[in-house]
Amino acid sequence: MKTTLHTEWTVADVCKGFTYNELEGKGLFGLDGRLTIQPEYQRHYIYNDGKRDVAVIESLLKGYPIGLIYFNRTSDGRYEVLDGQQRITSFGRFITGKFAIKDADGNVQYFLSLPKELQQKIMQSSLLIYECEGEEKEIKEWFKTINIVGIPLNEQELRNAIYSGEFVTAAKRVFSNSQNAEVQKWSHYVKGDVKRQEYLAEALKWVCVSKGITIDTYMSQHRRDTSIGELENYFRSVIDWVSTTFTMVERDMCGLEWGRLYETYHKTPYSINHVTERVLALQADESIKCPRNIYEYILGGEQDKSLLQIRLFEESTKRAAYTRQTEAAKEKGISNCPLCAIGDNANKTRIYKLNEMDADHVTAWSRGGATSIENCEMLCKTHNRSKGNK
């Protein structure tokens, strides 16, 4: 890969012909049409928070360097921003009046309201730009490296860079578009930031789980596809299935592994009324330590109790139950394990120590028995174990 350092380009040069697309949140072109500011493998503009964008302008006004910028020279002699897109878009937007800063006196100043000499200072700031020329693969590998500084690219942003092409462009139009009205509905089930590609990552994860392949494999297989039909259909099927199976929208549904649950259970019929009733009942059960897993537990026919992490009896509860039982047993001259006491065996009158016993639900938890002192009975370990197996 060949690199050339340019110091002759100023903010004014780079901003010549700057355009910004509000809808897509992208700075598009500069250098009088020769520069693509946001090639498709770049992420969205995320500096427009009134802090990072303002900081770029303040640096220019104070004559501070704003860091190295990297351009990729394409085979047709044009340029693409490899690194520096956020900074360029910030000053491009400022110069075209998209946002204001506050001056030393606290006054709001747009570019055009700044004194002429300050406007000049910004426009004439020279930039340090490395021009790189090389194989696409080489450039992208390297892009991966330089983006470790600043706000690092997340995994999906990196994959979009590595597998950039028609498929990524089409997928971003649906899954990375904050203007897409459906995002609101999806956000009940999918966690993350649309602009940071987290919905796209989830959609890809779901379809890849169903195929048993990695996201990288899927993206490289489909890289040149112009349609994302399969990805989109699968994602919509999962969302439709979740939202019809569970009629309620609960906050803890967001970010569950719906793709995996859909794969496992979408062929099982459910009574919606029964499901709703069971969700409500389990939500009210204070013994459940992991209420997020209620949905999976119900889908699985309420078999796998380990999902719920049922709360165990507290030590103090066990001790109280032990004392109560032991005192009563001693009076009657029988074992303090109620099951040993009714049997005809050597342990009929045995008084167990606390550490020889375990707590048991009198009314089983699965039949609605609470994890409380009223429903707690101490059994000897042998009886507790054999009861647990039934």
Q: Report the residue number, 89 or 384, with the smaller CB distance to Zn ion.
A: 384
CB of 337 to Zn ion, least distance (A): 3
Site for Zn ion, residues 157 to 196, rule: CB under 5 A? none
Cβ contacts of 70-75, under 8 Å, gap ≥ 24: 70/129, 70/130, 70/131, 70/132, 70/146, 71/35, 71/129, 71/130, 71/131, 71/132, 72/39, 72/131, 72/132, 72/133, 72/139, 73/131, 73/132, 73/133
Q: Report the residue number, 87 or 383, with the smaller CB distance to Zn ion.
A: 383
Structure tokens at 232: 């989109």
Does residue 69 contact residue 130 with C-beta atoms inside 8 Å?
yes
Site for Zn ion, residues 322 to 381, rule: CB under 5 A? 337, 339-340, 380
For residue 325, the SS3 value is helix
Structure tokens at 214: 């990695």
Consecutive H or E run containing 254: none
CB of 358 to Zn ion, least distance (A): 10
Contacts with Zn ion by CB under 5 A: the residue count is 5
Q: Residue 333 region, left (φ>0) first, then alpha (ψ -120 to 50), else beta?
A: left
CB of 383 to Zn ion, least distance (A): 4
Does residue 15 contact residue 95 with C-beta atoms inside 8 Å?
yes
Structure tokens at 296: 């999976």
Q: Report the residue number, 149 or 342, with the smaller CB distance to Zn ion.
A: 342
CB of 346 to Zn ion, least distance (A): 11
Q: Report the residue number, 204 or 379, with the smaller CB distance to Zn ion.
A: 379
Q: Point out which residues pair with 101 in neighbouring strands.
A: 109
CB of 364 to Zn ion, least distance (A): 18
Q: Report the residue number, 37 or 337, with the smaller CB distance to Zn ion.
A: 337
CB of 363 to Zn ion, least distance (A): 19
Buried b (16+ CB within 10 A) or exposed e, 347-386: beebbbeeeebbbbbeeebeeebbbeeebbbbbbeebbee
Cα angle 280, 282, 288; round to 5: 145
CB of 375 to Zn ion, least distance (A): 18
As a whole number of angstroms, the distance between CA 42 and CA 55 comes to 21
Q: Report the residue number, 65 or 343, with the smaller CB distance to Zn ion.
A: 343
For residue 94, the SS3 value is helix
Q: Report the residue number, 290 or 339, with the smaller CB distance to Zn ion.
A: 339
Structure tokens at 343: 């049997």
Q: Report the residue number, 298 or 380, with the smaller CB distance to Zn ion.
A: 380
CB of 257 to Zn ion, least distance (A): 42
CB of 356 to Zn ion, least distance (A): 9
Residues in CB range of 157: below 8 A, 6 or more apart: 43, 196, 197
Q: Report the residue number, 231 or 380, with the smaller CB distance to Zn ion.
A: 380
Task: Name the residues that contact Zn ion, by CB under 5 A.
Answer: 337, 339-340, 380, 383
